[in-house]
């Protein structure tokens, strides 16, 4: 394990709310428990549990979203997640997250992303290089997001890029809003769009217009694909030819062949197996 930890790594499939420390989740749950929003003893074992079915995983995400839906908390978890990956010697981190609208607490997709960006800026334990869109390379915006040491001594450095996720529960309009936000925030390091969420929910036809628009505008697209057997959707996703595909654990032989012939990189196949 120590060899793995010391090795420099790239992390291409980290979901922000899927990477929160258990200790932070328990702390947040305890605060909400004290406020009477949730019953702590009902959720403690859900957080502490290790092996989960896909259904349990998505139930846990619903719980995590109750615990983390607040700008300050989003900023905090972003900072912690980056510092945790850096401490494991991840040198390049693609962090994906689903921008959320929640009018009851004054949260819009834009303000959610703002809280994420604040979290990146708040990292102090390591230097963060947060590359802007190529047209702005070398500009002030870039350097303001890189932490420097006064002494000049070598510090750990992590490159961070953001992907905005479309949740499969979302409508075409909501998906389009996320893509437009990604375009707007491109010079702040948003490099692409991800399609994720519970694989038994939603239809490809709902997300296709937004994903197509993202691609036309030059954003990279990565798709969660084949997490459950769904040959029609898998074919449509392969026809789309995204930059990356995640999971693919229910691919049939022909689908593997197509993936290989199209040279689409596959990421995160182990998550489902483990
Ligand atoms: C197990 N495999 C998976 N398959 C599909 N979607 C997944 C996932 N793991 C995570 N997510 C997606 O990431 C969200 C949590 O992070 P954010 O709120 O976006 O930061 C989940 O709600 C789900 O939409």
Q: How far apart are CA 126 and CA 83, in angstroms?
A: 7
Q: How far apart are CA 129 and CA 161, in angstroms?
A: 9
Cα 6 to chain centroid, rounded: 24
* Ligand 1: centre distance to CA 153 (Å): 38
- Does any ligand 1 atom lie closer than 6 A to the CB of residue 105? no
Domains of the chain, by residue range, sit at: 2-273
Q: How far apart are CA 208 and CA 236, in angstroms?
A: 9
Residues 136-174 as b or e (16 or more Cβ within 10 Å = b) = eeeeeebeebebeeeeeeeeeebbbbbbbbbbbebeeeb
* Ligand 1: centre distance to CA 17 (Å): 7
- Does any ligand 1 atom lie closer than 6 A to the CB of residue 18? yes
Q: How far apart are CA 26 and CA 40, in angstroms?
A: 9
In this predicted structure, what is the pLDDT of residue 153? 61
In this predicted structure, what is the pLDDT of residue 131? 60
In this predicted structure, what is the pLDDT of residue 127? 94
Report, as ranges of residue numbers, the positions in the chain whose pLDDT lies below 70. 131-153, 269-274
* Ligand 1: centre distance to CA 138 (Å): 33
This prediction's pTM:
0.91
Of 3.40.190.10, 3.20.20.140, 3.30.70.260, 3.30.70.270, which CATH number belongs to 2-273? Answer: 3.20.20.140
Q: How far apart are CA 227 and CA 10, in angstroms?
A: 22
User: Could you tell me what percentage of the chain is helix, strand and coil, using 3-state DSSP and rounding each to the nearest 5?
Assistant: 50, 20, 30
In this predicted structure, what is the pLDDT of residue 147? 44
Could you give the ipTM of this predicted complex?
0.99
């Amino acid at each position: 394990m120590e060899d793995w930890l010391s090795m420099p790594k790239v992390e291409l499939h980290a979901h922000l709310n899927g990477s929160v420390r258990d200790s932070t989740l328990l702390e947040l749950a305890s605060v909400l428990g004290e406020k009477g929003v949730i019953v702590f003893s009902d959720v403690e074992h859900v957080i502490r549990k290790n092996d989960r079915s896909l259904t349990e995983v998505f139930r846990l995400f619903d719980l995590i979203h109750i615990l983390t839906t607040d700008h300050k908390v989003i900023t905090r978890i972003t900072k912690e997640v980056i510092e945790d990956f850096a401490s494991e010697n991840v040198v390049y981190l693609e962090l994906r997250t689903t921008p959320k609208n929640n009018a009851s607490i004054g949260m819009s997709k834009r303000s959610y992303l703002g809280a994420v960006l604040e979290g990146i800026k708040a990292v102090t334990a390591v230097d963060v290089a947060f590359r802007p869109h190529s047209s702005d390379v070398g500009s002030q915006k870039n350097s303001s997001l890189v932490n420097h040491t006064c002494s000049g001594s070598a510090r750990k450095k992590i490159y961070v890029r953001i992907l905005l996720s479309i949740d499969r529960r979302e409508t075409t309009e909501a998906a389009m809003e996320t893509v437009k936000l990604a375009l707007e925030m491109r010079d702040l390091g948003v490099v692409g769009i991800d399609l994720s969420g519970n694989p038994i929910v939603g239809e490809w036809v709902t997300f296709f217009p937004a994903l197509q628009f993202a691609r036309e505008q030059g954003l990279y697209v990565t798709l969660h694909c084949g997490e459950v057997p769904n040959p029609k959707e898998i074919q449509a996703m392969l026809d789309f030819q995204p930059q990356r595909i995640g999971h693919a654990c229910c691919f049939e032989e022909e689908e593997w062949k197509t993936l290989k012939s199209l040279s689409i990189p596959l990421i995160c196949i182990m998550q489902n197996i483990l």
